[in-house]
Amino acid sequence: MLKSLLGIKMTPAIVIALVMGALTSVGVAGTYAEFTAQSANPGNTFSAATIALSTDHPSNSIFSATNMVPGDSITRTVEVQNSGTADFTYTITASDENAPSNALWTDLTNGLQITVADGSTQLYSGPISQLTQVSTGVTLDPGAAQTLTFTVSLPTSADNSLQGLSDSILITLKATQLPGSSS
């Protein structure tokens, strides 16, 4: 007969349960052992790019023409610069600052006409009022520049209805970023 342990009579079933429990706890304890390692990587930095388009006419008009008569034209160049940190493309748009618009803007045949060129490549030619989001088709890298030539004319077909009219036109160059390629 088995002796008692701590006042408990040890039966074969209790001895087997104690032995199985001891063996199970040794096996379970062994499965929780593991080696670990880690690496801390501080100082990860991120910054957003800047899109900055500037011209050699900052905050100034490109044109100031007075006393135009039919057949007159005026030509100016504009250097467009990418002074930001990311590549971009850009568009050119003209808008009438007069309200209400007059025939210099609204008359598509006899009103003001404009031609925009990049060297020998003509980007747009037609009524100034139709110069709407015309793409230059050029990608400007940071620090790069492009020279455009603008010619505004009053057609020889302009009649007396345009005499004495004046207009103020806003020419806007709008840059749009290219898809990113962060490094």
Q: Which residues pair with 121 in a beta bridge?
A: 118
For 98-120, how does the pLDDT look when each residue is reduced to its tens digit (9 = 90+)? 888 999 999 999 999 999 999 99
Integer Rg of the chain from CA: 40
Classify residue 26 as exposed, middle or buried by CB count within 10 Å of its CB (0-12, 13-18, 19+).
Answer: exposed
- Is 73:158 a contact under the CB 8 Å cutoff? no
From the centroid of its chain, how far is CA 170? 22
Going by C-alpha positions, the residue among 170, 175, 141, 152 that lies closest to residue 59 is 170
Instruction: Give the residue among 53, 57, 95 at the shortest CA–CA distance from 76.
Output: 57
Which residues share a beta bridge with 77?
Answer: 149
Position 180 confidence tier, pLDDT thresholds 50, 70, 90: confident
| Residues 130-157 pLDDT 10s | 999 999 989 999 999 999 999 999 999 9
Q: Which of 29, 88, 19, 77 is nearest to 53 (CA)?
A: 88
Average pLDDT of span 87-107: 94
Query: Looking at residue 1, what is its pLDDT?
Result: 47
pLDDT range class, residue 6, cuts 50, 70, 90: low
Contact yes or no for 176/91 (Cβ under 8 A): yes
Contacts for 166-170 with beta carbons within 8 Å, 24 or more apart? 166/104, 167/96, 167/97, 167/98, 167/101, 167/102, 167/104, 167/105, 167/112, 168/96, 168/97, 168/98, 169/94, 169/95, 169/96, 169/97, 169/105, 169/112, 169/128, 170/94, 170/95, 170/96, 170/97
Q: What is the mean pLDDT of the chain?
A: 88
